[in-house]
Structure 1
Amino acid sequence: MPVLDRSEFLAKLHQMLRGLRGCGSQSVLLLADIRQLRVINGRLGYGIGDRLVERVGEIIRTALRPKDLLGHLGGGCFGMFLPRLPGPEVAQLAIHRIDEHLGDAIALDDVEVPVRLMYGQAWYPDHARDVDRLLNDAELALAAARDRGGVSLVFEPDMREEGMLSTALVAELRLALEQQQLELYYQPKVTLATGRTSSLEALVRWTHPGRGILPPGQFMPTLENSHLALPFTEWSLNLAMHEVAVLGRRFPGIQVAVNLSANVLYAPNLVAQVQAAMAIWNVPASQLALEVTESAMMRDPRSSLETLRRFADAGIRLSIDDFGTGYSSLAYLRELPVNELKIDKSFIMGTTQGQENRKIVLSIIELAHNLDIGVVAEGVEQAATLDWLREAGCDLAQGFYFARPMPRKRLEQWLKASEWGFAEQASNETGARAPAIPSDVTD
């Protein structure tokens, strides 16, 4: 059976469901979505993207049974209906067979295009008995797989409520961006050799009209997996550059780190967007660092490396966040043009509890220094932890022991008054100068 278009697929699915009524067997609707198709379109052109979608459909068809239904539902999404299955394990076998047939990449015009699919499953008749509900449940499972970084998820009833909550939260976040309810707080990073602050990490906070100030953990996972990810990144970059330009008047050369999410990392215009923000506020590349989690890079190591090299070529500092949680290889780490590794706080906080975490932290520090990469310890909350990190040769640290994240004006006071504050004299000795900033930049 050929690959059907959306209307043909849904009409045929409706007929098949009517024929299955009362048969007593299980059937599954599988949705498969091509990961990072928008990035592929942006980098290689929509012609390549369209051909990739067509080729993926052809390959999926070869992996299915003749009686299985296959349709292209739009974009990079395919629908498959596998009737009369003996059990759920057969659906997993079908997914495995499809992935095997696809391989890691597809050659188009002498270009190896990486291809990976995510899957959502909904079962007839257990989850739904009509086309609309079955399709909706499979879409919720696919969205959950995307949000949770998984490969394949089976629909669960709780996903209906999660889906409604997520949709409502995205609508609230869109208003938050429009109505300036979001702001950046900054947490100092202290250089352990001097005991003074040299750089900051920008962290978003949401002043919700009904719930007060919300930390990022309560809304960022939803935002990063929505269409707002790119607009949010543009907003955060511009605000961070504005505020570091203001800070640079009093604290010459101070650096700020901005976090990039996994779904933004592969955007084709990301490097240009970052450079535009620096140009608007006349901030030199030496005062900006970009933080990317290790797990985000490992979603597509080849594309991540390409993007990070473009940033490095532009003179922008790069930092791997939450290092130790993403299973990157030593060979891959050697290729990365990074300046800094941030050791995940779970390892740092564990250094006071036993030798195992200390061994892990020591090995990361040694590895990084052998590659001429600096090390930042996250989550420092006790003096004993700080003393041990100094002895271990760690370069920088951040955590509640020094300061909690704070808005810029409070940060300015802290940088002047705290024992961990900005060492202006040390900065001047290095020759750092505050950049000339546009005359309309205000405090």
Structure 2
Amino acid sequence: MQKTIAEQNRIIHNLYGFANVLNSIEDFQKTLDYIISFTMDTLKCERISIMLLEGGILKIVAAKGIPEVVIRKTTISIGNRVAGEVILSRKAILAKSLNDIPYLDGTVRSEARSFISIPILYAGLASAEQPLGVINVTNKIDNIQFTETDLETLTYISNTASIAIHNHLNHLKLEKAYSESKAQASALAYQMTHDALTNLPNRTMFLDHLTVTLIDERYKNNTLSLLIVDLNSFNEINDTLGHHNGDILLQVIGERLKGMFEQPNMVARLGGDEFAIFIPCSGINDLPHIVLKIIETIEQPILLEGISLEVSASIGISLYPDHGEDPNLLIQRADVALLIAKKEKEVSKVYDQNLDPYNPRRLTILSELRHAIDNNQLILHFQPKVCLKTNGISGVETLVRWLHPQYGLIPPDQFIQLAEQTGLIKSITMWVLNDALLQCSMWHRSGTALKVAVNLSARNLQDPELPDYISGLLKKWCVHPDFLKLEITESTVMTNHKLSSEVLLRLSDLGIRHSIDDFGTGHSSLAYIKNLPVSEIKIDKSFIMNMITSKNDIHIVQAAIELGHHLGLNVVAEGVENKETFDLLAQLGCDEAQGYFISRPVAAPELINWLNESKWGLKVSQKPAY
């Protein structure tokens, strides 16, 4: 009797510390191993196993006294054999007489004298008991049978262990979900920045790399080369041998070009049969050798449909800083050089402003742009945006036009870039902001609560006076900050990222919201957007307009929508030209749409008439003014 009491005291003492030790172990397998060793020591058994439930199947995850081959091969479904019956009934089985249990398999019947199989049940605060698995113990040492006291002890062990096991399983699920989410984000990032056909960087990534390199101090005083390579007669090859072979040709050429250059150089596919190559530290004297090497690489024979083809190419070249310091301008001027090379049937051409067919008119426009504001030649048009959930007008984008006395209505893409280069953009932006907020105030006073969006340039974001100026305009015209949204492109922030971010933060502190315009075509879709105080992204129309015919564009748009929502941002689609695209965007979960299917940009009086007559309702705001 004295021995029995001592044994009971030992067990009680051990059980008291079991939970504390269990909760202190961080590794899951070590937790299971501790449960095994503690149970064997407490119950004095010969064999023990812990089986956990996964997908309706019990598998041994920890054991002692059981051969490794048995551990690997043992799987039990719910309701089968002893462990499966225990999980199904959620009741323990204490076997004193094995003949009373008809569903014992031969191995257990031949080797077991007595055993206990008990379910591991986790009882959450807000849910019913959750079966996690089973603990099996077999044969007490010295041929003693298991008793009801042993069952009570094992019940305590199982209940205590269930909490630790449940917590570890939840932790593993979270780790798996995080890993999968990280992998999905990585896949999305790759898809957004790489060409699907060639796996080369796309225009977005190319511009990102180009921009970062241009602001890198290591290359500040160097000449950098940008080459655009265009395959000659590609359309004829496509038409003759089919698009499949055309795709193979592009893949082969892309792989060859990629093999020629290493970082910090970059080869990208801009689209169609155009490739771009950026080479730091290469001046004009290095170009003949580089061009010759590229042409020789491209002209190596390619076997398609049993035909050996030798493809030729034309190359347009621009140089930094000689031909510009803006990445888009460098590409534009390399494109101009490419057109001249093709026109003159030369292999390559370096940009020459004297040969730029667009240059004379630009000079004329530039000289007259200085007087456009003073002569009241600038006018505002407004393009509505529709909420895809309510089909109501959610706001308008403000678009400036130049009513030129000679050239007529000039769109912004023909003079805004010139204004940015010369510094006139500040005066134009100030005028646009003033007139847009004045118009917004007039609409509010007439009972039409419309929100307006205004575009900002890179120079605007480097102006530390901008926040105070806008704050003054909001007060002057009695417009609540919530009714003004400022649209910026990804590239504008890159010009001076630190100063631009500071200006955006000050504007955000005023209560003004920001939107990333032309998302997917700029410089830093993923690298910088997460750190900017923005509430919205606008997917560029180049992806939207071909959604109905291009699965790749659908995937890109869907990825952009999911990415935006994952970051907590509102997502707007630009360039919606038809009902099919509108409906598809709604199905994909896009928040707002803008484009000619809804309305073209119109002047303020025409917009009011359109609002009164259109099928789109107006979303009523709660705060039309201060």
TM-score (norm 1): 0.63
Residue 327 of structure 1: how far off its partner (Å): 3.8
Shift in alpha-carbon separation, 1:285–1:157, aligned structure 2, 3 A: closer
Shift in alpha-carbon separation, 1:185–1:92, aligned structure 2, 3 A: farther
Q: Which amino acid aligns with 2:462?
A: Y
2:354 is the counterpart of 1:158: yes
Deviates more, 1:145-154 or 1:287-296: 145-154
Q: Which amino acid aligns with 1:334?
A: K
Quote the sequence identity (%).
39
Residue 334 of structure 1: how far off its partner (Å): 1.9
2:615 is the counterpart of 1:419: yes
Cα distance in 1 between the residues matched to 2:330 and 2:624: 45
Residue 239 of structure 1: how far off its partner (Å): 0.4
Q: Which amino acid aligns with 2:588?
A: A
Residue 147 of structure 1: how far off its partner (Å): 8.6
2:391 is the counterpart of 1:195: yes
C-alpha deviations, 1:377-416, integer Å up to 9, x for none? 0000110001111110000000000100001111111122
2:366 is the counterpart of 1:170: yes
2:579 is the counterpart of 1:383: yes
Match of 1:216 among 412, 428, 433: 412
The aligned runs of 1:102-121 (5 Å cut-off) are 119-121=320-322
2:613 is the counterpart of 1:433: no
Match of 2:35 in 1: none
The aligned runs of 1:37-436 (5 Å cut-off) are 88-89=285-286, 119-121=320-322, 141=323, 144-146=324-326, 148-150=328-330, 156-158=352-354, 164-424=360-620, 427=621, 432-435=622-625
Residue 161 of structure 1: how far off its partner (Å): 7.1
- Answer yes or no: is the 8 Å Cα contact 2:547–2:581 preserved in 1: yes
Cα distance in 1 between the residues matched to 2:524 and 2:434: 31
Residue 214 of structure 1: how far off its partner (Å): 1.9
Secondary structure of 1:200's aligned partner: strand
Q: Which amino acid aligns with 2:286?
A: E
Q: Which amino acid aligns with 2:386?
A: V
Cα distance in 1 between the residues matched to 2:448 and 2:488: 25
Q: Which amino acid aligns with 1:435?
A: A
Q: Which amino acid aligns with 1:188?
A: P
Show structure 1 runs of 5+ residues with no match: 1-34, 36-54, 62-84, 94-117, 122-140, 437-443
- Answer yes or no: is the 8 Å Cα contact 1:147–1:221 preserved in 2: no
Show structure 2 runs of 5+ residues with no match: 1-210, 212-216, 223-281, 291-318, 335-349
Q: Which amino acid aligns with 1:88?
A: N
Cα distance in 1 between the residues matched to 2:327 and 2:283: 30
Residue 354 of structure 1: how far off its partner (Å): 2.0
Cα distance in 1 between the residues matched to 2:492 and 2:289: 25
C-alpha deviations, 1:292-329, integer Å up to 9, x for none? 01122233333332222121111101000000012425
C-alpha deviations, 1:16-45, integer Å up to 9, x for none? xxxxxxxxxxxxxxxxxxx9xxxxxxxxxx
Cα distance in 1 between the residues matched to 2:433 and 2:570: 23
Shift in alpha-carbon separation, 1:155–1:332, aligned structure 2, 3 A: closer
Match of 1:68 in 2: none
Alpha-carbon RMSD? 3.0
Cα distance in 2 between the residues matched to 1:145 and 1:376: 30
Cα distance in 2 between the residues matched to 1:297 and 1:86: 28
C-alpha deviations, 1:178-203, integer Å up to 9, x for none? 11011000000001111010210000
Cα distance in 1 between the residues matched to 2:420 and 2:473: 20
Cα distance in 1 between the residues matched to 2:551 and 2:491: 25
Deviates more, 1:151-160 or 1:332-341: 151-160
Match of 1:6 in 2: none
Cα distance in 2 between the residues matched to 1:284 and 1:231: 23
Cα distance in 1 between the residues matched to 2:456 and 2:474: 16
- Answer yes or no: is the 8 Å Cα contact 1:319–1:341 preserved in 2: yes
Higher relative contact order (CA 8 A, sep 6+): 1
Cα distance in 1 between the residues matched to 2:522 and 2:575: 18
- Answer yes or no: is the 8 Å Cα contact 1:182–1:205 preserved in 2: yes
Shift in alpha-carbon separation, 1:222–1:327, aligned structure 2, 3 A: closer
Cα distance in 2 between the residues matched to 1:224 and 1:87: 28
Cα distance in 1 between the residues matched to 2:357 and 2:526: 42
Secondary structure of 1:326's aligned partner: coil
Secondary structure of 1:188's aligned partner: strand
Deviates more, 1:387-396 or 1:294-303: 294-303
- Answer yes or no: is the 8 Å Cα contact 2:519–2:525 preserved in 1: no
- Answer yes or no: is the 8 Å Cα contact 1:184–1:204 preserved in 2: yes
Residue 148 of structure 1: how far off its partner (Å): 4.4
Cα distance in 2 between the residues matched to 1:401 and 1:161: 34
Q: Which amino acid aligns with 1:195?
A: N
Q: Which amino acid aligns with 2:517?
A: D
Residue 160 of structure 1: how far off its partner (Å): 7.5
Q: Which amino acid aligns with 1:203?
A: L
Cα distance in 2 between the residues matched to 1:86 and 1:221: 26
Residue 422 of structure 1: how far off its partner (Å): 1.6
Cα distance in 1 between the residues matched to 2:422 and 2:539: 28
- Answer yes or no: is the 8 Å Cα contact 2:443–2:449 preserved in 1: no
Shift in alpha-carbon separation, 1:306–1:172, aligned structure 2, 3 A: same
Q: Which has the larger radius of gyration?
A: 2
Q: Which amino acid aligns with 1:150?
A: L
Shift in alpha-carbon separation, 1:388–1:404, aligned structure 2, 3 A: same
- Answer yes or no: is the 8 Å Cα contact 2:574–2:594 preserved in 1: yes
